[in-house]
Structure formats: structure tokens, C-alpha cells
């Protein structure tokens, strides 16, 4: 995991996203590829009330959106330079190949989801904020990107983390999504001081043996592991997982992004979506 794509919006969340990306990059000596998408006025209008404007009102709304887009671009580039200077991150176009973090910056225009997906697929990890988008992107950009990019997504919390590799909690469910999330997170899991495999038991208690077997395999590879089996007892799973993450002081949570139904491809499954609301800590997702 050597190339990390970081989505920069040009807003007040840039610093938190930057520090989350650095926390992921440091144990891996990775290169941070910062990307800002300048969303055109036409595309941005589809996500605001300007979509319903007509005539002179539409022209005025598009002019304002175009001005905002240029402002977001200027702020994003300035934030990148200032934060790299403050954190002493070397700016270079390609990874230096040495044991330290480097960073580069690019800006693109065009169809935002298409450009984000293109660059995400060429990186090992994608970092972005969890809150609804404000800089012209569709509000459900995170959900859409998780579903189509085929790469793990590190979703930042509302506060910057000190580190990500102290305690990592893995939310395990016997599913392909969970297995892919664990496989994608392996470079980070291998650097962890402690990995806690957590599973909620509803009806099928065979998951207990499955979690223990998974933890045992990690232990064979030198990773300090624990298991945490939580009986559901009719309680809501997102709240239980959030409480479990709090109890073990997880620096990072790894989980699969479970789809609720094929008819709702553009949103997370209810469990994942609710967990993002409950647990205010960095979360690595894989669909």
C-alpha cells in the first residue's frame, strides 16, 4: 500500500482529512496523491436548488456556482501547500522511494464521479471525509465511490487521529465484503499493535468458530489478535459495534460495506450507513 489518493474539497474539513491521510501513510512510508475536482457549474447545479431555476435566475445561479468552484480550487491548493509545510511533508510528483511520506497535488475538471473513480482505481487506498459533500460534488459521492471504485476507502472521523495502527477493530461477518475488507486492510493490520476481531452473534453461532479461526491465522503471521463475540439479544447491530469500538479504544475500524439491495445500489446497506453515524472514528470500508 504505497499510493494513497486523498480527496481535497477546499473547505474547513481539509485539515482533518490531511491528518487522517498522513496517519495512514506514515507506517507505510506511502505517497499521498491529493486530488481536487473542480465541479462545473452545470454539474453542481444538479445538486442544489439552482436545478429548478429558469431564465435570468438560472444564469445568475450558474455564475455564482462557477465563482464558488474557482474559490474552492484556490483554497484547496493553498491548504495543501500550507499543511505540507506545517507537517514537513516533501512535495514531489512521484514517490521518493525512501522511508518517509511524500505528497503531490492535482486538480481536474469534468464528470466528478468518473474522474474520482478513474484515479481511485489507480491507487491502493482512498481517503475522504464522511460528511455530506459541500464543494459541488453530489452529497452521496462517498457511497457511490465505495460501490464502483473497487478500492478500500478510509473514511475520516470529525477529528484528526493521532495514529491508526494502535488498536484496530475488524467487524467480521461471514461474507465476501468482509473478507475483501480484511484483505485490503492487510498492510495496515500488519503494522497494528493490536487487532480485535469483533462479531455480532444473532442466530448462527458458527460465526464464533469462524472468528477464532480468522484471529488464529493472523496470530500465525505475528499480529497480536483478540476476539470479541457479542450476543445480539435483539439489539441494533450498529450501536453494538460502535460501543465495542469505544470499549477497545479502536484507532481504526475495518468493515465491509454491505449492500442492502440491488434496487438501492447508490447507498450503503443500512448497517454500514448507521454505523457511520454512530461511530465517530476512522473507518476503512471495502465493498
pLDDT of 283 over the 50 cut: yes
**Using one digit for the tens of pLDDT, what is the confidence trace for 160-175?**
898 999 999 998 888 8
Per-residue confidence (pLDDT) for residue 268, from 0 to 100: 44
CB 233 within 8 A of CB 265: no
Per-range mean pLDDT, top range of 89-98, 130-139, 181-190: 181-190
Q: What is the DSSP string of 60-121?
A: HHHHHHHHHHHHHHHHHHHHHHHHHHHHTPEE-SS---SSS-EEEEEEEES-HHHHHHHHHT
pLDDT of 15 over the 90 cut: yes
Domain range for 60 is 3-156
Give domain status of residue 225, yes or no: yes
SS3 (DSSP) at 151: coil
| CATH code assigned at 64 | 3.40.50.620
Give domain status of residue 161, yes or no: no
Query: How many independent structural domains does the chain possess?
Result: 2
When pLDDT is cut at 50, 70 and 90, the band that residue 202 belongs to is confident
How much of the chain, in percent, has pLDDT values that exceed 90?
A: 38
- CA gap 23, 252 in Å, rounded: 11
**What integer best gives the mean pLDDT of the chain?**
82
Lowest mean pLDDT among 25-29, 46-50, 190-194, 209-213: 46-50
Per-residue confidence (pLDDT) for residue 262, from 0 to 100: 40
Q: Are residues 176 and 101 in the same domain?
A: no
CB 208 within 8 A of CB 216: no
When pLDDT is cut at 50, 70 and 90, the band that residue 280 belongs to is confident
Q: Are residues 32 and 136 in the same domain?
A: yes
Q: Are residues 29 and 147 in the same domain?
A: yes
Cell, residue 245:
469500538
- Mean pLDDT across the stretch 256-272? 53
Per-residue confidence (pLDDT) for residue 145, from 0 to 100: 85
Select from 101, 130, 156 the last residue of a domain: 156
Amino acid at each position: 500500500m504505497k499510493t494513497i489518493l486523498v480527496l481535497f474539497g477546499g473547505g474547513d474539513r481539509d485539515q482533518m482529512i490531511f491528518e487522517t491521510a498522513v496517519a495512514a501513510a506514515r507506517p507505510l512510508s506511502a505517497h499521498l496523491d491529493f486530488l481536487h475536482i473542480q465541479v462545473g457549474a452545470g454539474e453542481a447545479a444538479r445538486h442544489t436548488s439552482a436545478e429548478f431555476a429558469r431564465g435570468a435566475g438560472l444564469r445568475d445561479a450558474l455564475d455564482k456556482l462557477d465563482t464558488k468552484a474557482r474559490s474552492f480550487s484556490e483554497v484547496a491548493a493553498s491548504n495543501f501547500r500550507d499543511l505540507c509545510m506545517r507537517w514537513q511533508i516533501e512535495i514531489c510528483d512521484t514517490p521518493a522511494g525512501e522511508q518517509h511520506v511524500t505528497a503531490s497535488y492535482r486538480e481536474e475538471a469534468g464528470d466528478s464521479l468518473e474522474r474520482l473513480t478513474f484515479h481511485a482505481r489507480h491507487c491502493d487506498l482512498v481517503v475522504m471525509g464522511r460528511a455530506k459533500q459541500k464543494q459541488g460534488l453530489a452529497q452521496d459521492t462517498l457511497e457511490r465511490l465505495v460501490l464502483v471504485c473497487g478500492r478500500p476507502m478510509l473514511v475520516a472521523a470529525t477529528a484528526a487521529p493521532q495514529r491508526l495502527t494502535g488498536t484496530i477493530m475488524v467487524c467480521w461477518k461471514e461474507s465476501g465484503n468482509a473478507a475483501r475488507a480484511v484483505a485490503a486492510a492487510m498492510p495496515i493490520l500488519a503494522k497494528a499493535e493490536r487487532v480485535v476481531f469483533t462479531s455480532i452473534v444473532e442466530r448462527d453461532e458458527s460465526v464464533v468458530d469462524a472468528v477464532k479461526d480468522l484471529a488464529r491465522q493472523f496470530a500465525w503471521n505475528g499480529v497480536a489478535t483478540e476476539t470479541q463475540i457479542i450476543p445480539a439479544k435483539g439489539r441494533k447491530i450498529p450501536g453494538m459495534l460502535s460501543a465495542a469500538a469505544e470499549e477497545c479504544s479502536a484507532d481504526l475500524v475495518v468493515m465491509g460495506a454491505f449492500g442492502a439491495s440491488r434496487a438501492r445500489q447508490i447507498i450503503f446497506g443500512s448497517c454500514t450507513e448507521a454505523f457511520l453515524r454512530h461511530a465517530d472514528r476512522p473507518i476503512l470500508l471495502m465493498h
